[in-house]
Chains A and B, each alone.
Chain A
Amino acid sequence: MPTALSDTPARDIAAGTGPRERPAAADALLSLRGVRKSYGGVAVAVEGVDLDLAPGEILTLLGPSGCGKTSTLRIAIGLERASDGEVWLGGQLVDAPARRVFVPPERRNMGMVFQSYAIWPHMSVFENVAYPLQARRRPAAEIKADVDRLLDMTGLSSFADRPGTRLSGGQQQRVAIARGLAAGSGVLLMDEPFSNLDSHLRNHMRAEVKLLQRKLGIAVLFVTHDQSEALALSDRIAVMRAGRIEQIGPPTELYNNPASANVRDFLGENMRLSGRIRARGRDAGLTVELSEGNICLVDGQDHTGGAPVGSPCLLSIRPEHVRVEPAPAGPHTVEPNVVAGRILAMLFLGSAFEASVRLASGAVVTTMLGSDTELKEGQAVRLVLPKLRLHAWPED
């Protein structure tokens, strides 16, 4: 293996005798350690990111625009240089400004799918996909076989001779993926690849990419600002904000146990109710008095950090966990974990209804109803909030 790495004697790194520690995860294909990126020393895009991409996983960087997710991806493949920190690729240091090491993107052997697809208009579909193999000077027969296989895999066989530009958006997307697979052996980086597709095609491509990834067992580092895309596609999600990773973990964990209000609000919908802590249980659990006057027992996560009794707090619950029942006839009874309200509007989404409910306090919350519900607009309802699904947060 050729190992001469720029100014640093490569043996040091290979033998692990360099000044810094080896990447934490030994089997990680791609590791970022304390990566920072600033432009002209002023604007900071990435503020210390640690990341490990394991073999065979889809890891998504999720966050609003400007959170540093695309910069992180571009540093990973070498289109930009880190200002500080280290990038390891398969146990080899590829970017470390402190050690004056930088391996350019064309030597990192990773595939990348760009947001604009970047299909070369002067080449046919075949030539586009064959390009990475030609750049590596592989024999022509081998290239032909590999490209045919990739085109077959992405369903492009019948378009092989088409010019790259005479394709629909979805087809261009496939060409970009096939080309990325040809370039990268084992790792594919995708930068908002579906943002230029319409919603129907986007859902379709999402499933297709996951199927392809499962079949090939490659690792994918994916960047998106679309939370539903991230939830559906990823094995792990890293939610980024202001250049940092706020929480990293499997989608279900992030969805059910968000570590911060930002992650909670960014992933999925929430019903939020404000109140005041009335009592604190011995081991766990809070008793909260809502602004409506109702009492709620909270046995989910407590993020209030032991705030004293009497301090204001916020309760959150996922809409699908709220049980909506018709209000019982007869006199109004006060029960714990039940809030009264009236349905303002129902939106039919096909598989379910989304209902806007006005609470006694005047606050409007969103809940989900089954598509077979008998409830009607204008009807009085009661919302049952299971205590295990209620999470307590400090007031925003």
Chain B
Amino acid sequence: MSTADLAAVSPPARVGPLTLGAAYWLFIAAVAVVTLFPVVVLFVTAFEVGTFGRETVFGFDNWIEPFRSPRLLEALWNTLTLSAARQIIALVVSIGLAWLIARSNLPGRGWLEVGFWIAMFMPALPVTMAWILLAGGRSGLINIWLRDLSSFLPYPLFNIYSWGGIIWVHLVTSTIPIKVFLLIPAFRNLDASLEESARACGSGLIETIRRIVVPLMVPILVVTTLIGLIGAMQSFEIELILGTPASIDVYSTIIYSAMKQEPPLYGVASVLSILFVTAILPFVFLQKWYGGRHTYGTLGGRFSSRTQDLGRWRWPLFALVLLLVMLMTVVPTAMIITGTFMKLFGAFNLPQPWTLDHWHEAFSQSELYRSLTNTLKLGFGAAFTGMIVYSAIAYITARKRYMGGGLLDFLTWMPTVIPGIVMSMGLLQMFLQVPVLRPIYGTTWALILAVLIGGMTVGAQIIRGTLLQLSSELEEASWTSGASRWRTFRKVLLPLVAPSVIVAGLNIFGTGVSVVSLVVLLGTGPSQPLSILQLAYLDSGHFEPATIIGLFILAIAVTAAVLARIVSARFVLSR
């Protein structure tokens, strides 16, 4: 190690190559276009009067039409009440569940957590069908059992085609699992000595949770509720299947029906979409404002994470949580499998209800194979491109040293604000009206782009979270060790973020497989994926083939969920 070696300063590379800078801004511009353009197109379409495809003029006619019908106000009211009701129920239930899993000595809490994780990945449509089998009016299996059990109970007791039914299916497919998943880390980071000192002061367990734990968690509870509310108002497919027979309209289904009319009322749908986004915006600002003012209410630093003893409630609570996890995962899966063997969907009281015909029929049709191929193409395509694009976004927004990071961060939040059905509508307009993009329309690439945009917020956040935990000195140490930027990326950064990139990829894969609202207006014809084929069958009353397709979607999505869980549990860096 002689000092003479110093003279051998290696030859320098060109400083800040122009091409790299240009590529960087091109990337940001591309993200800006695909996230903002659909919104711009919506505004343009909203003022185009006339039948789509023919000569159109600019005017305000589209803005008058929807206000004539009382359906609009009713739908708005339904959207709000349905969203608020399930957020409130889910909040109460999830606080209890997250606390039990994170802070108590509940038996098997690790496995129960995995159960909620899988429940989060359960696709909405197949689960909806399972609940139709269980509680679909007179033919619902539970209702039939209850009638056989006791003649005093009203029959049918449960009707899934109702306001309460929609809420129930939402709760078990997404609202509760997502909340549990978001709250568990926050509860884990809570200092146990705070609970312990409260209990030492003579306060009971429930009292401690109510008066100590919950108040400390208010900021994260408010933020998750607002995010949940924004998401809830955008929901689409469950309302379409369960609400339509009961004439319960929500905003997204009204937009859908305007689009599905012949000829499609694009202008009116655009106006409705703009109104919808405007209605959601206050909640988005509220969430950003509140989240910015309150740091997540966990007290970092040194804390003890001892668990609380549940005493004699331990096993009863275990049974209760296990029942809930079963209702979310195993029961729907079993029902769908059952449904595929039924002669007539939901007709359990036929003398000979079972048949293999639907399976034979499904496999004899090329439609299933084609849609399956499309779905896999969509899933893998979105996962692969998503891993690259989201990594780039996450890196730029996590490392403060790059200009334009703030803008990009803002852009990644756009898709969360804009409901899937509206984004689908905006993308459709974009593909039809921008000549350069027209060749993409009708191909799987259009769907991949839609899924990429829709999953952008979550995907980029998963990777960004890991990057924020990694000190930038880890990279700098590589540079000062004489490694090039490329080598640093390959040898230091990539191995450290790879697990979370894979989790993000599996997440987007799961979305791609089960997504409906984002692609419903794009995935027609030869590019139709399984989820849209299933919706088409359901819409036209062909429940039996729809269950078989639902089973496929379920299997693929749950596989992705399990893989993501394994990867994140084993490889993602924990603090």
Interface residue from A103, A112, A176, A189 paired with B9 (Cβ < 8 Å): A103
How many Å from the CB of A320 to the closest CB on chain B?
Answer: 38
How many Å from the CB of A88 to the closest CB on chain B?
Answer: 10
How many Å from the CB of A31 to the closest CB on chain B?
Answer: 12
In the complex the two chains form, what is the Cα distance from A31 to B308 in whole Å?
61
Inter-subunit contact B12/A104 (CB<8 Å): yes
B307 at the A interface (CB under 8 A): no
Interface residue from B1, B13, B476, B482 paired with A114 (Cβ < 8 Å): B476
Q: B2 contacts which chain A residues (CB < 8 A)?
A: 185-186
Inter-subunit contact A118/B471 (CB<8 Å): yes
Q: B474 contacts which chain A residues (CB < 8 A)?
A: 118, 120
In the complex the two chains form, what is the Cα distance from A219 to B1 in whole Å?
11
Q: B481 contacts which chain A residues (CB < 8 A)?
A: 106, 111, 131-132, 135, 179, 182-183
Q: Which of A82-120 contact B (CB under 8 A)?
A: 89-92, 94, 100-112, 114-116, 118, 120
Interface residue from A121, A183, A185 paired with B480 (Cβ < 8 Å): A183
B478 at the A interface (CB under 8 A): yes
Q: Give me 20 other A-B pairs in contact (C-beta within 8 A), A100-B15, A107-B10, A115-B473 excluded.
A: A6-B12, A6-B14, A77-B480, A79-B479, A91-B7, A102-B12, A103-B12, A104-B13, A106-B488, A107-B12, A118-B476, A118-B477, A120-B496, A131-B481, A131-B491, A181-B1, A183-B480, A185-B2, A185-B6, A218-B3
> Nearest CB to that of A219 among chain B residues?
B3
In the complex the two chains form, what is the Cα distance from A16 to B79 in whole Å?
77
Q: Which of A193-235 contact B (CB under 8 A)?
A: 216-219
B202 at the A interface (CB under 8 A): no
Inter-subunit contact B482/A136 (CB<8 Å): yes
> Nearest CB to that of B495 among chain A residues?
A122
A5 at the B interface (CB under 8 A): yes
Interface size on B, residues (CB 8 A): 35
- Chosen A-B contacts, 13 in total, with CB atoms closer than 8 Å, are A4-B12, A56-B3, A79-B480, A89-B9, A102-B12, A103-B12, A104-B13, A106-B480, A118-B474, A135-B483, A135-B484, A185-B5, A216-B1
In the complex the two chains form, what is the Cα distance from A196 to B460 in whole Å?
32
In the complex the two chains form, what is the Cα distance from A122 to B473 in whole Å?
15
How many Å from the CB of A211 to the closest CB on chain B?
Answer: 16
In the complex the two chains form, what is the Cα distance from A106 to B14 in whole Å?
13
Interface-centre pick from A5, A103, A180 (highest chain B CB count, 10 A):
A103
> Nearest CB to that of B470 among chain A residues?
A121
In the complex the two chains form, what is the Cα distance from A110 to B1 in whole Å?
12
Inter-subunit contact B12/A183 (CB<8 Å): no
B573 at the A interface (CB under 8 A): yes
With A114-B477, A121-B573, A131-B491 as contacts: A185 and B12 at CB distance below 8 Å: no
Inter-subunit contact B477/A179 (CB<8 Å): yes
How many Å from the CB of A293 to the closest CB on chain B?
Answer: 52
In the complex the two chains form, what is the Cα distance from A219 to B12 in whole Å?
23
A15 at the B interface (CB under 8 A): no
> Nearest CB to that of B5 among chain A residues?
A185
Q: Which of B126-171 contact A (CB under 8 A)?
A: none
Inter-subunit contact B477/A2 (CB<8 Å): no
- For A165-191 the 0/1 string (1 means CB < 8 A from B) is 000000000001001111101110100
In the complex the two chains form, what is the Cα distance from A103 to B479 in whole Å?
12
Inter-subunit contact B487/A135 (CB<8 Å): yes
How many Å from the CB of B488 to the closest CB on chain A?
Answer: 8
Interface size on A, residues (CB 8 A): 55
How many Å from the CB of B101 to the closest CB on chain A?
Answer: 27
Inter-subunit contact B3/A186 (CB<8 Å): yes
Q: B9 contacts which chain A residues (CB < 8 A)?
A: 89-90, 92, 94, 103, 107-109
Interface residue from A4, A56, A91, A102 paired with B15 (Cβ < 8 Å): A102
> Nearest CB to that of A146 among chain B residues?
B1
In the complex the two chains form, what is the Cα distance from A5 to B11 in whole Å?
7
In the complex the two chains form, what is the Cα distance from A141 to B483 in whole Å?
20
> Nearest CB to that of A216 among chain B residues?
B1
A158 at the B interface (CB under 8 A): no
In the complex the two chains form, what is the Cα distance from A135 to B474 in whole Å?
15
In the complex the two chains form, what is the Cα distance from A217 to B3 in whole Å?
9
Q: Which of A239-292 contact B (CB under 8 A)?
A: none
Interface residue from A101, A109, A114 paired with B10 (Cβ < 8 Å): A109
Q: B573 contacts which chain A residues (CB < 8 A)?
A: 121
With A29-B6, A109-B8, A179-B477 as contacts: A186 and B1 at CB distance below 8 Å: yes
With A181-B1, A185-B1 as contacts: A106 and B479 at CB distance below 8 Å: yes
B26 at the A interface (CB under 8 A): no
B492 at the A interface (CB under 8 A): yes
Please list the 6 inter-chain residue pairs (A to B) with the smallest Cβ-Cβ separation, ordered nearest first.
A185-B5, A186-B3, A132-B481, A118-B477, A135-B483, A2-B11
- For B469-511 the 0/1 string (1 means CB < 8 A from A) is 0010110111111111101100110011000000000000000
In the complex the two chains form, what is the Cα distance from A264 to B492 in whole Å?
44
How many Å from the CB of B10 to the closest CB on chain A?
Answer: 4
How many Å from the CB of B3 to the closest CB on chain A?
Answer: 4
Q: Which of A1-34 contact B (CB under 8 A)?
A: 1-6, 29
In the complex the two chains form, what is the Cα distance from A116 to B473 in whole Å?
7
> Nearest CB to that of A182 among chain B residues?
B481
With A115-B473, A116-B471 as contacts: A1 and B482 at CB distance below 8 Å: no
- For A53-89 the 0/1 string (1 means CB < 8 A from B) is 0011000000000000000000001110000000001
Interface-centre pick from B476, B480, B485, B495 (highest chain A CB count, 10 A):
B480
Inter-subunit contact A120/B8 (CB<8 Å): no
Q: A94 contacts which chain B residues (CB < 8 A)?
A: 9, 12
In the complex the two chains form, what is the Cα distance from A294 to B484 in whole Å?
68
> Nearest CB to that of A10 among chain B residues?
B11
How many Å from the CB of A55 to the closest CB on chain B?
Answer: 5
How many Å from the CB of A163 to the closest CB on chain B?
Answer: 12
Q: B487 contacts which chain A residues (CB < 8 A)?
A: 135
In the complex the two chains form, what is the Cα distance from A122 to B484 in whole Å?
19
How many Å from the CB of A192 to the closest CB on chain B?
Answer: 12
Inter-subunit contact A106/B6 (CB<8 Å): no
With A2-B10, A92-B9, A186-B5 as contacts: A105 and B479 at CB distance below 8 Å: yes
Inter-subunit contact B7/A92 (CB<8 Å): yes
In the complex the two chains form, what is the Cα distance from A132 to B487 in whole Å?
11
How many Å from the CB of A106 to the closest CB on chain B?
Answer: 5
How many Å from the CB of B321 to the closest CB on chain A?
Answer: 34
Inter-subunit contact B12/A5 (CB<8 Å): yes
Q: A102 contacts which chain B residues (CB < 8 A)?
A: 12, 15
In the complex the two chains form, what is the Cα distance from A131 to B477 in whole Å?
10
How many Å from the CB of A90 to the closest CB on chain B?
Answer: 4
In the complex the two chains form, what is the Cα distance from A216 to B488 in whole Å?
28
With A6-B15, A121-B496, A218-B1 as contacts: A90 and B6 at CB distance below 8 Å: yes
Interface residue from A89, A91, A183 paired with B482 (Cβ < 8 Å): A183
Q: A186 contacts which chain B residues (CB < 8 A)?
A: 1-6
Q: B496 contacts which chain A residues (CB < 8 A)?
A: 120-122
How many Å from the CB of B302 to the closest CB on chain A?
Answer: 15
> Nearest CB to that of B474 among chain A residues?
A118
Q: B491 contacts which chain A residues (CB < 8 A)?
A: 131
Q: B13 contacts which chain A residues (CB < 8 A)?
A: 104, 107
How many Å from the CB of B12 to the closest CB on chain A?
Answer: 4
Q: B478 contacts which chain A residues (CB < 8 A)?
A: 120, 131, 135
With A89-B6, A116-B471, A121-B496 as contacts: A109 and B482 at CB distance below 8 Å: yes
> Nearest CB to that of A150 among chain B residues?
B1
In the complex the two chains form, what is the Cα distance from A2 to B8 in whole Å?
8
In the complex the two chains form, what is the Cα distance from A90 to B7 in whole Å?
5
In the complex the two chains form, what is the Cα distance from A181 to B485 in whole Å?
21
